[in-house]
């Protein structure tokens, strides 16, 4: 009996050895071209002038120093802030201004300047803001030697996420914002499938790095979930008594 078992095991191990020796095709060797895509070729975009930060060729110019034709007043009438010498200055008696066009995800460039003789302190000093899709505020404030709550500083997602650093230029000097915004996606029940996200670069310094926006900007209370589609850019006229700030060179590129 033991002898039979030994023979059987020997035969089995011979079969196994045979199976192990069976050769299968090896994966084909990779060649460089196997991971290189050629189509569709990318559209050519002529960049703006590096000295003036002028708009790239595929941007929608929202303010080029001449007029506010791309904007209306927050209440629907014509935009009435003061356009002079290539710059638009907040008129504190006229309310916010809002783009006529709605946007989804985008890259936004704008430059803003706090008056050299700004008055006030804290949130009452050069306060404005950029509302993305009319819902989410990236704060603008004179934070040059002017402390406030950190989630209300320049470059904060207002009342949500503070900026990583304070990269503010002095009053009288121009600040540059480059804002890269990814629009939210909503579920059928109106809650977020993907919340909005934003990167804010201020004077070449990253303040927000693909930060998740929690919900709408609320002065009092927590962010809310409000389903929406494309929306405009809103520039804030803040009601504090300090002098109005100025803007120039505003352009936007729509993104997928």
Instruction: Return d(Cα 9, Cα 199) in angstroms, integer.
Output: 68
7 forms beta bridges with none
d(CA 147, CA 136): 22
How would you write 149-201 as a 3-class SS string? CHHHCCCCECCCECCCCCCCCCCCCEEEEEEEEECCEECCCCCEEECCEEEEE
Local structure of residue 231 (DSSP, 8 states):
B
CB of 91 to Mg ion, least distance (A): 16
Encode burial over 160-170: b for 16+ CB neighbours within 10 A, e otherwise. Answer: bbbbeebbbbe
CB 206 within 8 A of CB 200: yes
Binding site for Mg ion (CB under 5 A): 127, 129, 139, 236
Question: How many Å separate Cα 58 from the centre of its chain?
Answer: 18
Nearer to Mg ion, 105 or 236 (CB): 236
Return the number of the residue (139 or 175) whose C-beta is nearest Mg ion.
139
* Nearer to Mg ion among residue 55 and residue 148 (C-beta): 148
Query: In the bound complex, what is the minimum distance in angstroms from residue 128's beta carbon to Mg ion?
Result: 6
Minimum gap (Å) between residue 123 Cβ and Mg ion:
8
Tell me the closest approach of the beta carbon of residue 75 to Mg ion, in angstroms. Answer: 18
What is the nearest approach in angstroms of Mg ion to the Cβ of residue 149?
12
Identity of the residue, 112 or 251, whose beta carbon is nearer to Mg ion in the bound complex: 112
**Between 127 and 182, whose beta carbon lies closer to Mg ion?**
127
């Amino acid at each position: 009996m033991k002898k039979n078992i030994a023979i059987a095991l020997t035969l089995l191990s011979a079969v196994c050895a045979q199976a192990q020796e069976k050769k299968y095709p090896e994966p084909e060797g990779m060649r460089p071209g196997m991971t290189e895509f050629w189509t569709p070729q990318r559209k050519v975009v002529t960049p703006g002038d590096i000295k003036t930060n002028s708009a790239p060729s595929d941007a929608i110019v929202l303010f080029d120093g001449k007029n506010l034709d791309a904007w209306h007043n927050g209440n629907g009438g014509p935009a009435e802030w003061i356009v002079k010498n290539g710059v638009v200055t907040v008129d504190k008696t006229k309310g916010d201004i809002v783009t006529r066009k709605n946007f989804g995800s985008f890259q936004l460039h704008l430059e803003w300047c706090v008056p050299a003789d700004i008055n006030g302190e804290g949130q009452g000093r050069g306060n404005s803001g950029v509302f993305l899709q009319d819902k989410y505020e990236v704060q603008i404030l004179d934070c040059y030697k002017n402390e406030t709550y950190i989630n209300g500083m320049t470059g904060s997602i207002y009342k949500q996420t503070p900026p990583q650093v304070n990269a503010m230029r002095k009053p009288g000097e121009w600040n540059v914002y480059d804002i890269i915004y990814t629009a939210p996606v909503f579920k059928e029940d109106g809650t977020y499938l993907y919340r909005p996200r934003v990167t804010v670069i201020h004077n070449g310094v990253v303040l927000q790095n693909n930060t998740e926006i929690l919900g709408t900007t609320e002065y009092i209370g927590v962010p809310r979930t409000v389903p929406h589609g494309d929306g405009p850019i809103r520039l804030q006229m803040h009601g504090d008594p300090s002098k109005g700030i100025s803007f120039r060179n505003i352009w936007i590129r729509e993104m997928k």
